[in-house]
Amino acid sequence: MAWRVRALERVIVTAVISEKETEAEAYASMEELKSLVTTAGGTVMATTVQNRPTPDVSTYVGKGKADEIEALVDTWEADVVVVNGELSPRQGQSLSARTSARVIDRTQLILDIFADRAQTKEGRIQVELAQLTYLLPRLRGQGHALSRLGGGIGTRGPGETKLETDRRHIQRRMDELKKDLRRIRKHRTTLRKQKEKQKDPQFTLVGYTNAGKTTLLNALTNEEALAEDLLFATLDPLTRALRLPSGLGVRVSDTVGFIRGLPTTLIAAFRATLEEVAGADVLIHVIDATSPEAEVEKQTVMELLDELGAGEIPVITVMNKAESLDRDMVPAVSAARPRLYISAREDKNIDDLQTVMEEELIKQMSFYSISIPASEGRRLYAIRKSTIVREESFDEENERYKLQGYAFDHHPQIAANKENDKKEDHS
């Protein structure tokens, strides 16, 4: 869209500090906004804030502040002004009329980053749908922004204005995207059911953006997924296989990072992807232990998990980036137990994390004790791979393996063995 922030563009960031937030919260949010600008490829030249009870209904900031922003644009020859909030159509138009720079808001900036980073077909569809949802009520004065949408706008009926045609074109495109998403969702549901048949437990990494989830995925699975020191480095979900210390095979999925003020249009568009979180057996909540906003970031993640219907799933809290902590520095985060400190980058305490992962699964499993004939090697292998084996011995006299451990209820191999034991007891 026309609001894209391109590499080396000069950016002015501005915000209104309202009565609803403290100055500390506001400035932390501004620092986050500057990181978003950097992620989008821009360079922050200056920042400006204004204290007022609520944003101005017409220009978001007051007239004097709008004049100051215009002066900063001239001084720094800025290309873009980014507002740390969501502009109404009226506010965006009024502020844009006062400056030669493009004016965008926090939502548009995040959508821009997502558009740049979406790799899969599903990701690109979801981003475009979110962009169009955002654009639709802001069409007036935005006609030039539609050039990226492709053909179809020029075919209008008698008496229709270009704005009405644009609106129809966008609505038609949104309907097409929703249909594509339903088709992709149906396919993913089929794949998920196939995975569920494999009985591999699912761990899902969640956390604030740039907490180190992808780096942790690499450390756990010895893979090399792209991990960057940027916000939203991961957008499309990624799943890897892992074998825990007991031999149990599990799946570990990475997810898009959460952020304060994540646009509602984006949550709606990405709900199909984010709902994958709700299918996890255990969540691994990755927190940046070095962040001064760790508690606020944790709360943001927990609120979004509740919204996605994942608030009751067991959580392992991981305080990451421990290698950067001072010895006496302990973040004030009221995180749930189990909680452990790790360094995904330096592979520290990753073994401890895997042990905790097993312990959390055991809480959802039942104890079993079975014996298997030595001749049933394939079945023995399947049980070792799909359950947590705690003890194993071989009875040479009867040529049978005896195993004790934990498995999910209705595990096919364990259930089959219990039936066989019953038959042998009756015979």
The reply to whether 236 sits in an annotated binding site is yes
- Average pLDDT taken over every residue of the chain: 81
Q: Band of the pLDDT at 270, cuts 50, 70, 90?
A: low
The reply to whether 387 sits in an annotated binding site is no
pLDDT at 328: 62
The candidate with the shortest Cα–Cα distance to 39, out of 82, 88, 92, is 82
Which burial class, exposed, middle or buried, applies to 167 when counting CB atoms under 10 A from its CB (0-12, 13-18, 19+)? middle
Residue whose structure tokens are 């990226």: 148
The reply to whether 57 sits in an annotated binding site is no
Q: What is the pLDDT of residues 12-58, one digit of tens each?
A: 999 999 888 888 888 888 998 998 898 888 999 999 999 999 999 99
The reply to whether 235 sits in an annotated binding site is yes
Asked if 363 contacts 233 with a C-beta cutoff of 8 angstroms, the reply is no
pLDDT at 156: 33
The reply to whether 227 sits in an annotated binding site is no
Q: What is the pLDDT of residues 306-365, one digit of tens each?
A: 888 888 999 999 999 988 877 666 566 776 667 899 999 999 999 999 999 999 999 999
Q: CA-based Rg of the chain, rounded to a whole angstrom?
A: 27
The reply to whether 345 sits in an annotated binding site is yes
The reply to whether 234 sits in an annotated binding site is yes
The reply to whether 344 sits in an annotated binding site is yes
The reply to whether 22 sits in an annotated binding site is no
Quick check: bond before 338 cis, omega within 30?
Answer: yes
Decide: helix, strand or coil at residue 135. helix
Asked if 221 contacts 252 with a C-beta cutoff of 8 angstroms, the reply is yes
Q: What is the pLDDT of residues 183-219, one digit of tens each?
A: 887 877 776 666 666 668 999 999 998 899 989 999 9
The reply to whether 377 sits in an annotated binding site is no
Domains and CATH numbers, the chain: 10-113 (3.40.50.11060), 118-192 (no CATH), 200-362 (3.40.50.300), 366-426 (3.30.70)
CB-side neighbour CA atoms (13 Å) of 336: 13
The reply to whether 129 sits in an annotated binding site is no
For range 107-115, the mean pLDDT = 85
In residues, how long is the chain?
427
The reply to whether 408 sits in an annotated binding site is no
The reply to whether 341 sits in an annotated binding site is no
The reply to whether 208 sits in an annotated binding site is yes
Q: What is the pLDDT of residues 219-267, one digit of tens each?
A: 999 877 555 555 555 555 678 899 999 999 999 988 877 887 777 777 7
Amino acid sitting at position 383: I
The reply to whether 210 sits in an annotated binding site is yes
Q: What is the pLDDT of residues 379-420, one digit of tens each?
A: 899 899 899 999 999 999 999 999 999 998 878 777 666 555
Percentage of the chain beyond pLDDT 90 is 39
CB-side neighbour CA atoms (13 Å) of 215: 23
The reply to whether 62 sits in an annotated binding site is no
The reply to whether 343 sits in an annotated binding site is yes
Q: Which distant-in-sequence residues (6+ apart) come within 8 Å of 323 by Cβ? A: 343, 345, 346, 348
For range 54-74, the mean pLDDT = 93
The residue that leads in pLDDT, 120 or 397, is 397
